[in-house]
Amino acid sequence: MQYIQQPQAIEAKSFDIIGEIIRETRPDYQFASPLHEAIIKRVIHTTADFDWLDILWFSSDVLEQFCAALSRSSVIYTDTTMALSGINKNAAGKIRR
């Protein structure tokens, strides 16, 4: 058996598996947008809990406000070190215009 050793490849495979499980167990589930899908799958990946498909809720414009805040180099407060660690600083920096 060959093991995947590259962290990015392991992560990509994990997300593929999450997508497969959602399609198999919840074939009618619809994400509100690609961004919602990315966030919910990240939460599932972090927690290994598919209940987030039903319990994670977003207010109508929160993601637009968040993206706008990132583009303005805003300060982001988190309530946990884990949340802070999960923010990809390089990716966040690319959002700035």
Catalytic positions, written as ranges: 45
Residue 77 tokens read as 């407060």
Contact between residue 52 and residue 43 where contact means Cβ atoms under 8 Å apart: yes
How far apart are alpha carbons 12 and 20 in whole angstroms?
12
For 23-32, the CB contacts below 8 A with 24+ separation are 25/50, 26/53, 29/53, 32/58
In angstroms, the CA 43 to CA 57 distance is 12
